[in-house]
Amino acid sequence: MNIKNICCIGAGYVGGPTMAVVAQKCPHIKVTIVDINASRIAAWNNQDLSKLPVFEPGLDKIVGEARGRNLFFSTDIDQAIDEADMIFMSVNTPTKTYGKGKGMAADLKYIELCARQIARVSKSDKIVVEKSTLPVRTASAIKNILEHTGNGVKFQILSNPEFLAEGTAVQDLLNPDRVLIGGDTTDAGQKAIQALVDVYANWVPKERILTTNVWSSELSKLTANAFLAQRVSSINALSQLCEKSGADVHEVSKAIGMDSRIGSKFLKASVGFGGSCFQKDILNLVYIAKTYGLNEVADYWEQVILMNEHQKNRFSDNIVTTLYNTVSGKKITFLGWAFKKDTNDTRESPAIQVADNLLSERAHISVYDPKVVEERIYADLDYLNTRSSEENRALLQVSNDPYTASKASHAIAVLTEWDEFKTYDWQKIYDQMQKPAFVFDGRGILDTKALEKIGFVCYKIGSGS
Ligand code: NAD
Ligand code: UGA
């Protein structure tokens, strides 16, 4: 089957960049990305490419090349479904906040709504692709919904999880380690798999396109995120032991990472991992294990989350203790709010938890992040409901330059590893701070020896100073 028309439901961090790359690499395929969020679609259609709703290095160029040629953004979901041979579901699958599985299971209501809309609108056979991250066996629920339309339309369901990381999305999509496609073992299932393989084969070498059964594909996505997050929690657990024992976690990471069986990636100690997916996907894995009665399996993976919570809390505790056991009325400058560098995404960013803890101690916080806008920062804090939004606005200010943000502050805390933080005029920052001037480097990116020479009192995660 030759795919000519693709629809992607969900124009978010995954749907937008993924489909922009498909459109750029496959000019013979019309790609329409649809969303119920009209302002998001309007932003994707913005003539000013610096105003796209997702910031990713290189994305503006790709959208600029394909948009209007074979890439379209629209709110007319029914029409896009009707025209498509292949439909990607790339909607959000957050942790449930209500009912059974609250706080753990994935909320599948958006996926189910998509499936019902596809079932209602479709008049011709379609391949439906799970792009969202989903619990293992979701495809069978989707199949059930799609097969009860009574209008004779045939559907094939594929699982094609996305492994891109934010900040490097374009590079990850152009040059993926692998593309994973799971489908039915029937003839029709294999044909559907081949149709999707043919789309990716326009730019991904064949040996990197892996095909499996649906359940392996669904579970591999949760497993990959669990393994990655587990490495971060493992090194973070050791970072505390390093601080106590005089070892340096950066040296330990390097030493173990040179063992080819361990590998050097994902061993950077930090103030904790954030992002929309690690915590959500591990909680989901824990929930699935529990529903099968596998309590030891569930407990094992839950520990990755508990360690991460501990890492965030111990960072803010350390700031309070170091500043003579009180931060009440003291100004603390946050460098960074995003959950990692090169993205404007703040979902589950460790900065949010650290700020909330310090605000509860009545600190005054001043934030500078190169990409995150003020409203986002306040929305993140308000969402926690720890205090009123008026109080959040009174206690926390957002600056658009690091020198103003750090003026007269007692301490600077590095929450995101933005490269520009390393290049600042730290003498200038020091001169305008209260003394003693403290730096708490939660990302281990600053040259603390040089800062100490200037006069700063430094704490670096995993090495003490
Ligand atoms: P997102 O919240 O940025 O985007 C989801 C979009 O879907 C939103 O714009 C929302 O309005 C839209 N939507 C929801 N229901 C809809 C409906 N019924 N019809 C039309 N549009 C609808 O989410 P995201 O970060 O792009 O993540 C999407 C999925 O991809 C999740 O399952 C996530 O776990 C997975 N994932 C995310 C990443 C990442 O880096 N963010 C990476 C890999 C996988
Ligand atoms: C992660 C995975 O890397 C992607 O493969 C996956 O597709 C995606 O989740 C998803 O399913 O959403 P992402 O969350 O965008 O991607 O970013 P990562 O680079 O994985 O970083 C996650 C968090 O871990 C960040 O807060 C980062 O700062 C932190 N981290 C990462 C560390 O603290 N140390 C490390 O060594 C690596």
Which pLDDT score is estimated for 47? Answer: 96
Q: Do 158 and 18 reside in the same domain of the chain?
A: yes
Which pLDDT score is estimated for 31? Answer: 98
Which residue from 177, 269, 259 is spatially nearest to 231, judged by alpha carbons?
269
Helix (H) or strand (E) holding 31: strand 30-34
* Shortest-distance ligand to the CA of residue 109: 1
Q: Do 319 and 191 reside in the same domain of the chain?
A: no
By CB atoms closer than 10 A (0-12, 13-18, 19+), residue 114 is buried
> Is 223 part of any domain?
no
| Cα–Cα distances in angstroms (integers) from residue 88 to residues 132, 162, 196, 443, in the given order | 9, 11, 11, 36
CA distance linking residue 416 with residue 376, whole number of Å: 16
Residue with tokens 């061993």: 267
Q: Do 317 and 456 reside in the same domain of the chain?
A: yes
> Is 81 part of any domain?
yes
User: 315 CB less than 6 Å from ligand 2?
Assistant: no
* Shortest-distance ligand to the CA of residue 315: 2
Query: How far apart, in Å, do the first and last CA atoms of the chain sit?
Result: 60
Q: From the annotation, which residues make up the binding site for substrate?
A: 162-166, 221-225, 261, 268-274, 339-340, 443
Final residue of a structural domain among 204, 230, 265:
204
Q: Whose CA is nearest to atom 11 of ligand 1?
A: 37
Final residue of a structural domain among 204, 232, 250:
204
* Shortest-distance ligand to the CA of residue 135: 1
Which residue from 62, 5, 74 is spatially nearest to 34, judged by alpha carbons?
74
Q: Whose CA is nearest to atom 37 of ligand 1?
A: 14
Q: Do 200 and 310 reside in the same domain of the chain?
A: no
Q: Do 199 and 314 reside in the same domain of the chain?
A: no
Final residue of a structural domain among 204, 220, 251:
204
* Shortest-distance ligand to the CA of residue 280: 1
Helix (H) or strand (E) holding 158: strand 155-159
Q: Whose CA is nearest to atom 14 of ligand 1?
A: 91
Q: What are the residues whose beta carbons fall under 8 Å from the beta carbon of 284, sequence distance 6 or more?
A: 95, 104, 105, 106, 135, 222
Q: What averages of pLDDT result for each successive group of 10 residues across the chain (465 residues)?
A: 96 97 98 98 97 94 98 98 98 95 95 96 97 94 88 94 96 98 97 98 98 97 98 98 96 98 98 97 96 98 98 98 98 98 94 98 98 96 98 97 98 98 98 98 97 98 83
Q: Which atom of ligand 2 is nearest to the CA of 417?
A: 28
Q: Which atom of ligand 1 is nearest to the CA of 276?
A: 41
Contact between 341 and 331 (Cβ < 8 Å) = no
CATH number at residue 411: 3.40.50.720
> Is 211 part of any domain?
no
Which residue range is the domain that position 89 belongs to?
5-204
Name the domain count of the chain. 2
Q: Whose CA is nearest to atom 7 of ligand 2?
A: 163
> Which of the residues 7, 26, 242, 277 is marked catalytic?
277
In 391-464, which ranges are E strands?
396-398, 411-414, 438-441, 457-460
Q: From the annotation, which residues make up the binding site for NAD(+)?
A: 10-15, 35, 40, 91-95, 132-133, 166, 277-280, 347
Q: Which atom of ligand 2 is nearest to the CA of 350?
A: 26
Task: Provide the 8-state DSSP code for 94.
Answer: P
CA distance linking residue 289 with residue 101, whole number of Å: 12
Provide residues with CB under 6 Å of ligand 1.
Answer: 9-15, 35-37, 40, 77, 90-93, 110, 113-114, 132-133, 162, 164, 166, 276-277
User: Looking at the DSSP assignment, which residues form a beta bridge with residue 130?
Assistant: 89, 159
The two structure tokens encoding residue 344: 């404007």
Q: What are the residues whose beta carbons fall under 8 Å from the beta carbon of 291, sequence distance 6 or more?
A: none
> Is 90 part of any domain?
yes
The model's pTM is: 0.96
Distance 331 CA to ligand 2 centre (A): 30
Q: Whose CA is nearest to atom 43 of ligand 1?
A: 162
Which pLDDT score is estimated for 464? Answer: 66
CA distance linking residue 384 with residue 401, whole number of Å: 26
Strand 126-130 and strand 155-159: the pairing is: parallel
> Is 440 part of any domain?
yes
Largest CA distance in the chain: 75
Q: Whose CA is nearest to atom 2 of ligand 2?
A: 165
> Is 54 part of any domain?
yes
Which pLDDT score is estimated for 149? Answer: 78
> Is 446 part of any domain?
yes
7 is catalytic: no
The two structure tokens encoding residue 204: 């991904």
CA distance linking residue 462 with residue 318, whole number of Å: 12
Distance 111 CA to ligand 1 centre (A): 10
> Is 292 part of any domain?
no
User: 232 CB less than 6 Å from ligand 2?
Assistant: yes
User: What are the b/e assignments for 143-182, b being 16+ CB within 10 Å?
Assistant: bebbeeeeeebebbbbbbbbbbebbbbbebbeebeebbbb
